[in-house]
Chains A and B, each alone.
Chain A
Amino acid sequence: MLIVSFLIPVTQLFVWAGWTYNDVLLTADFRQLTYNTVSVGLLATAVIMLLAVIVGNVSRMMNNRVGYAIAKITTTGYSVPGAIIAIGVLSLFIWLDERLAPLYGWMGKGEAPLVLSMSLVMLVVAYVIRFTATGYNSVEAGFEKIGMKYTEASRMLGAGITRTFFGVDLPLIKGSLLSGVILTFVEIVKELPLAMLLRPFNFDTLATKAYQYGSDERIFSAAVPSLFIIGVSTISIIIFHHVGKRVMQ
């Protein structure tokens, strides 16, 4: 399994990269591409995990149909294809920009420019809609594992909901939180359709670059950005693994 799904393709990529790296590394700024990919990934992951923890805790505390519904709504984005989310987010942001046009004018940015729809905010929002499910599922599994007993014990000792959350709930789901971060981050790093459609002008990620080479019929050149994606994912897993070991002790 591992040979077919990972070793053979990676070897193939290395061979192709060997043919083309001279050319590709010169024409594209890989430091910038990697930086773009990692930074947008981290930003979206941070927002997603924050949302996941808040929604997870609220839905657990409510423990009724409303709480269940909130949780379901938060995670539906995962079942919608990226391109459809992209169109939805795009129309939302263009509408927002139209509404905010007077404000932009007042701030001296000219008459009706597309401020939000040209910014990274749009891409991050789309990632949050699409990938909250991966983060949320980890957090929910963590909450389910610890149950309500520690929360109840904490409140019986005079701690309110906030102190209970930071003193008891959060430390106890740290492990699940961390695996949610890894899953979400890696998912975003290799994501293509949303990045293609919603990236700001001149903002490329490793995935969009690889796609660009591919569609230019330079499939061998696509090997280099692809290997960078694998590199970023692997390094992040190693880092999180080490952090995880420390956290667990």
Chain B
Amino acid sequence: MSFVAIHKLSFTYSRKQLSVIDQFSFSMSKGEIVGVVGESGSGKSTLLRLIAGLETPAEGKIDISQRTVVDVRTFIPPEQRGVGMVFQDYALFPHLTVAKNIEFGLHRFSKADRQARLKEMIELVQLTGLENRYPHELSGGQQQRVALARALAPKPALLLMDEPFSNLDVDLKAAIRAELRDILKKAEMTCLLVTHDQQDVDAICERTVRIGQFA
């Protein structure tokens, strides 16, 4: 049984335009790290936004761990899907410290559990000592790790990553790729990663999906 099942998904930004995503089907098993590769404008970010619940598909169906999150009749809002997301520009809350950013998704945890989970996450992404910094006081690589820790903290069923390396310089990229793979494996996370760079996929993912004209 597949963990994430997408069935004949279609999406268009406006009725006059061609579909960005047309009859797309795809499935993932639990713990798998899959890379989505495609040209810019091929609809790969849109695919993530559809799975996340930030866009509504024109037709099709998405199941996440045997629960239908969207089809013709159903629409489960993003906050109830149990899906985490690392945004391309990280979208760290500028008014909150690193610790508060990571704790943001832990509002349903008890205070003690929240503290424990925060500590665990900080250690996982190796940011000890930076808990009270604000996002603008961090380097790009550190910001990316905070974004990852924040997304992983509430233990999502599925992690979506939109161009996670596009804002990093080349030297950092190689180091962080390896690190990211370790972190994801350690957390036993099912992860869907979108990129335009084949090297990202080769370094991290177990399987590649091509999207767009040449699929």
The reply to whether A171 and B95 contact each other, CB–CB distance below 8 Å, is yes
> Does more than half of chain B's interface fall in helix, strand or loop, or is it mixed?
loop
B79 contacts which of A160, A167, A171 (Cβ < 8 Å)?
Answer: A160
> Does more than half of chain A's interface fall in helix, strand or loop, or is it mixed?
helix
In this complex, how many residues of chain A approach chain B with their Cβ under 8 Å: the count is: 16
CA–CA, A67 and B89, complex, Å: 27
| A-chain residues with CB within 8 Å of residue B85 when the two chains form the complex | 152-153, 156
Please report the number of residue pairs spanning A and B whose Cβ atoms sit closer than 8 angstroms.
58
Is A31 part of the binding interface, using a Cβ–Cβ cutoff of 8 Å? no
The reply to whether A158 and B107 contact each other, CB–CB distance below 8 Å, is yes
Query: Which of chain B's residues 42-91 have a Cβ closer than 8 Å to chain A?
Result: 52-54, 77-80, 83-85, 87, 89, 91
Is B154 part of the binding interface, using a Cβ–Cβ cutoff of 8 Å? yes
CA–CA, A150 and B79, complex, Å: 13
| B-chain residues with CB within 8 Å of residue A150 when the two chains form the complex | 91, 93-94
Is A163 part of the binding interface, using a Cβ–Cβ cutoff of 8 Å? yes
| B-chain residues with CB within 8 Å of residue A99 when the two chains form the complex | none
Is B151 part of the binding interface, using a Cβ–Cβ cutoff of 8 Å? yes
Nearest A residue (CB) for B82: A158
CA–CA, A157 and B89, complex, Å: 16
CA–CA, A152 and B150, complex, Å: 14
| B-chain residues with CB within 8 Å of residue A101 when the two chains form the complex | none
A172 contacts which of B78, B87, B95, B108 (Cβ < 8 Å)?
Answer: B95
**Contact flags A151-190 to B (C-beta < 8 A → 1, else 0):** 0111111111001000110011000000000000000000
Known: A150-B91, A171-B95, A172-B95. A155 touches B107 (CB 8 A): no
Query: Which of chain A's residues 137-153 have a Cβ closer than 8 Å to chain B?
Result: 149-150, 152-153
CA–CA, A167 and B106, complex, Å: 13
- Closest chain-B Cβ to A64's Cβ sits at a distance in Å of 11
Nearest A residue (CB) for B147: A153
Is B3 part of the binding interface, using a Cβ–Cβ cutoff of 8 Å? no
The reply to whether A157 and B154 contact each other, CB–CB distance below 8 Å, is yes
CA–CA, A155 and B85, complex, Å: 10
CA–CA, A156 and B105, complex, Å: 8
CA–CA, A154 and B91, complex, Å: 9
Known: A157-B154, A158-B154, A160-B79. A152 touches B104 (CB 8 A): no
Known: A150-B93, A167-B104, A168-B93. A155 touches B87 (CB 8 A): no
- Shortest 8 CB-CB contacts between residues of A and residues of B: A157-B105, A153-B91, A149-B91, A156-B85, A155-B78, A155-B79, A171-B95, A158-B79
B residues contacting A by CB (< 8 A) are: 52-54, 77-80, 83-85, 87, 89, 91-95, 104-105, 107-108, 150-151, 154
Q: List 15 A-B contacts (CB under 8 A).
A: A149-B91, A152-B54, A152-B87, A153-B85, A155-B54, A155-B77, A156-B78, A157-B79, A157-B151, A158-B80, A158-B108, A159-B104, A167-B104, A171-B95, A172-B93
A residues contacting B by CB (< 8 A) are: 149-150, 152-160, 163, 167-168, 171-172
